[in-house]
Structure formats: C-alpha cells, structure tokens
Amino acid sequence: MHDIKLIRETPDVFDAAMARRGVDTRAADVLAIDAARRAKIQASEEAKAEQNAASKQVGAAKASGDEVEFERLRALVGAKKEDVARLNDEAKDLDGELTDLLMSLPNLLDASVPDGADENDNVEIKSWGTPRETDFAALEHYDIPAIAAGLDFELAAKLSGSRFMVLSGAVARLHRALAQFMVDHHVDTNGLSETWTPILVREDMMYGTGQLPKFGEDSYKTTNGWWLVPTAEVTLTNTVNGQTVDAASLPRRLVAHTQCFRSEAGSAGRDTSGVLRQHQFEKVEMVSITHPDNSMAEHDRMTSCAEGVLEALGLPYRTMVLCTGDIGFGAIKTHDIEVWLPGQNAFREISSVSVCGDFQARRMNARFKPEDGGKPQFVHTLNGSGLAVGRALIAVVENGQQADGSVVIPEVLRPFMGGNSMIQADGTLA
C-alpha cells in the first residue's frame, strides 16, 4: 500500500510512477478523497469543541433560572452531538474509500526497471548452460514414454476436473524428490530457515500480501471464509504481520514447501496441455524480511539462490529483468528465471523473484525497531520461487529424455530416488 504522506508531498513523482505502470489514477484523485476525509475530521473536531463549550454553559443557565437559554443550550448540545456522530461516520466512510483506492494501486517501480509493453520487452541479464543437442526430436514431458506411464490426466479429470493431475510410480517419486532436494539445498547451502505453514489463511492475510482486493478471482475461497494460498508467500510474509521486530533479527530468510492453489482465471487457452499450468501444484517458496537498506542486495541474493537450484540440476536457464508492462502488482523489481524446455524449444518461467519494498509491510503494519533507538520503520519484503516443483519436473524430464523414451535422473536427485539413475521407458526405475 502507498504512503499517503508521500503522495501529498510528491504528487508529481506518484503520477509519473502510475504512468509507467499504465494506471490512469493520479495523485489528484487520491488527494481529493484525502482532503474530503481530513475536512470531515476537522469539522467533527470543531463540532465536538462547540458541544463541549455548550455543555459547560448548560449548568450555569439552569442555575440562573434562565429556562430559555437552558433549553437553547441543551438543544445545541444535542445537535452538535449528532453532527459529531454524522461527521465521524462520513470521515470513516471516506477513510475506507481512500484505503480501498490505495490498496488497489500497484507498487512504485524501481528506476532500473526497463520500460516495455509485455514479456517481449523483458531484458536478459544472465544465461547459464547450453541446451543439449540430440539426434532425435525432443518430446514434451507428457509424451515421453517414461513419464507418460505415471502421469494420468484422465483420472485427474474424473476426480477433480481439468487442470489437475495424478502422478504415480517413479514420476510421483521424482516429483517428491525435487521438492525434498530444493528444501535441503536452500537450508544447507543458502542458509534459509525451513518453515511449515498452513495452506488455509484468513482474509486479512491475503490483503497483507496484495492478493486482495484486486486479485480475488485468481484464488479459491472456502464457504467459511478461509482462502487457499496461491503460494507460501502469503503465510511466510505474514509471519511479521502486526509486529515490530528488532533490527538485529533482520534479515529473516524463510523457505517452505507447500501445496498451492490458483483458479487461473483469465488464462483460458494458455498452456492447457500437461503439467505447466495447474489449479493445484507445489512450490518451494523463499521469503526474506529485511532492513530497507539491504533489500536490493537481498533481491540479487535470492535470485542466486533460485539459480543455484537449476545449476545443481544441470538445467540451462536465463534470467530476465521484467519490464514495466510485465511486472507484478506488488513488486518494485522482479527477476524471472526461465528454464530451457527442449520439448517446447523455448525458455519458460520457473521462478519469479521480487522485491516489494515496504508495499506489503504497510498493508501488514510490519515494522522494525532501529538499533539506534529511533522511530520504528517498515520492513522490506521479498519473495521468490525456489522453485515451482511441477515446472522443475517438466524441465528435468525433458532435458533428461533419451532416444529410447527413458529419462536420466540428475545426479543430485539420485539419493532421493533410491540410488537409481534412470526412469526406463516402461516407467520403472533403474
């Protein structure tokens, strides 16, 4: 959420930032509501002062026997009391309107974010690995014999509908191995703190990280008011919701493996085949809570953490800086890591690492106490996939596929696969 004081002080900066985002709302729109709200508050305070003054005079009028003045003052007290209540209600309504507007506006962008209309204008900043050359045509993951044996979309559709999957045998084990490896890698190599969190959250937690109010249709809500998390970003970031922590406790670097749920509203016709875009999926999510001075450096560190997983798996990738037309709602800067998928002959996103500044912290009222004892300040928050497990499964099997329909298992995953090095074309481990 935005700082209303900053908008008052630098409306031109706010307007330029919204223009970069392609948002029509300008500072004047926000400040008009803010001015009306402040006017109601001032009028309420003035009415309250008049009520108090009249109340003090009522007794004196009664004592002097001036019934006319007594009745006039008593009526004035009652009228001012009603004015105060009405003005407070109007101020409260305007405050809600202002909050709703500020909640609906995207974060300001860092100056280093490139201008652009869509994903075609994102800028590559790193590449690693070389796609393998083969003497056979690479298949997409769901057509590889070794994987097709343990990947059942028809059964999933019978159980739950479209965009679900049932995994079995070696494929299910490989999926689990990927998640276990990722968590261990982030804990043992990157120093993140393993965390286990619920997948059902209260509505205010979704507001805290920016999924609500604007993106409610993208998530699932239960009949009793809980929301299914679209990512563990929601729970991990909200671990500091409403808190004022010590500066010495920062940074807090967390990682969690969870089920995730997305309605994929508005994605009809996109990536409907295979595992790439599902309603229910798993992610290993990273979140950092940092001091404002360190958040941009932490962004680079988190990006390296995600890249390191791909390098350990031997998967070629490239890292992109997202442009103004492709960056997410709550981010001030985002790095997308795209893994090479031979079956699609294309790079596809497998991780998105974002720094959000104090945007989420304001929504959550999450602060820290400076070491010098100064006024509490908002923390900065970051989040990133480390990685999306289903997409990692696609990348591993497509890059490891062999001409005979088998799949070579990356060496780092073999301890989680019973020491086996291959899924054979019939779906068995060897």
Is 245 part of a structural domain of the chain? yes
> Which residues are annotated binding-site positions for L-serine?
231-233, 262, 285, 383, 385
295-313 and 389-400 are packed helices; what angle lies between their axes, rounded to 10 degrees? Answer: 40
Same domain, 178 and 36: no
Lowest mean pLDDT among 35-44, 62-71, 163-172, 189-198: 62-71
Scan for tokens 């009228």, then name that residue: 79
Q: In 3D, which of 402, 405, 363, 369 has the Cα closest to residue 381?
A: 363
Same domain, 132 and 223: yes
d(CA 347, CA 341): 6
> Which residues are annotated binding-site positions for ATP?
262-264, 349-352
Q: Which pair of tokens denotes residue 344?
A: 């699609």
Is 430 part of a structural domain of the chain? no
Question: DSSP assignment of 269-306, as one string?
Answer: TSS-STTSS-SEEEEEEEEEEE-GGGHHHHHHHHHHHH
Q: Specify the DSSP element, H or E, that contains 193.
A: strand 193-194
Write down the pLDDT at residue 264.
79
Output b/e per residue, 102-134; b: 16+ Cβ within 10 A: bbebbbbbbeebbebeeeeebeeeeeebeeeee
Write down the pLDDT at residue 150.
96
Same domain, 285 and 328: yes
Write down the pLDDT at residue 173.
98
Same domain, 314 and 287: yes
Write down the pLDDT at residue 267.
56
Same domain, 236 and 375: yes
Q: Which residues neighbour 318 within 8 Å (Cβ) at sequence distance 6 or greater?
A: 124, 126, 127, 128, 337, 338, 347
For the cut 80, the answer to whether the pLDDT of residue 270 exceeds it is no
d(CA 79, CA 59): 17
Q: Give helix then strand counts, H and E, for the chain.
A: 12, 18
pTM: 0.93
Question: DSSP assignment of 117-170, as one string?
Answer: SSGGG-EEEEEES-PPP-SSPPPPGGGSHHHHTTEEHHHHHHHT-SS--EE-HH
Is 19 part of a structural domain of the chain? yes
Write down the pLDDT at residue 64.
85
Question: DSSP letter at 114?
Answer: P
73: domain CATH number is: 1.10.287.40
Could you list the residue range(s) of the whole structural domain that residue 86 is in? 4-104
d(CA 94, CA 423): 62
Q: In 3D, which of 265, 192, 234 has the Cα closest to residue 363?
A: 234
* Band of pLDDT at residue 66, cut at 50, 70 and 90: confident
Is 204 part of a structural domain of the chain? yes
Domain count, the chain: 2
Final residue belonging to a domain, choices 75, 104, 133: 104
For residues 398-415, give the mean pLDDT.
Answer: 98
* Band of pLDDT at residue 357, cut at 50, 70 and 90: very high
For the cut 90, the answer to whether the pLDDT of residue 379 exceeds it is yes
Is 366 part of a structural domain of the chain? yes
Angle at 134 between CA 131 and CA 140, to 5 degrees: 75
For residues 238-255, give the mean pLDDT.
Answer: 98
Final residue belonging to a domain, choices 104, 128, 157: 104
Q: What percent of the chain lies above the pLDDT cut of 90?
A: 90
Mean pLDDT of the chain: 95
* Band of pLDDT at residue 272, cut at 50, 70 and 90: low
Q: Specify the DSSP element, H or E, that contains 8.
A: helix 4-9
> Which residues are annotated binding-site positions?
231-233, 262-264, 285, 349-352, 383, 385
Same domain, 335 and 268: yes
d(CA 325, CA 399): 31
For the cut 90, the answer to whether the pLDDT of residue 67 exceeds it is no
Final residue belonging to a domain, choices 58, 80, 104: 104
Same domain, 156 and 75: no
Lowest mean pLDDT among 75-84, 196-205, 329-338, 379-388: 75-84
d(CA 389, CA 260): 11
Is residue 292 within 8 Å of 404, Cβ to Cβ? no
Is 114 part of a structural domain of the chain? no
Is 112 part of a structural domain of the chain? no
Same domain, 124 and 100: no
d(CA 383, CA 193): 14
Q: In 3D, which of 332, 385, 335, 323 has the Cα closest to residue 362?
A: 332
- 141-193 per-position pLDDT tens digit: 999 999 999 999 999 999 999 999 999 999 999 999 999 999 999 999 999 99
By CB atoms closer than 10 A (0-12, 13-18, 19+), residue 41 is middle
Same domain, 184 and 323: yes
Same domain, 256 and 130: yes
371: domain CATH number is: 3.30.930.10
Same domain, 308 and 413: yes
For residues 93-112, give the mean pLDDT.
Answer: 96
For residues 326-338, give the mean pLDDT.
Answer: 98
Same domain, 88 and 153: no
Is 428 part of a structural domain of the chain? no
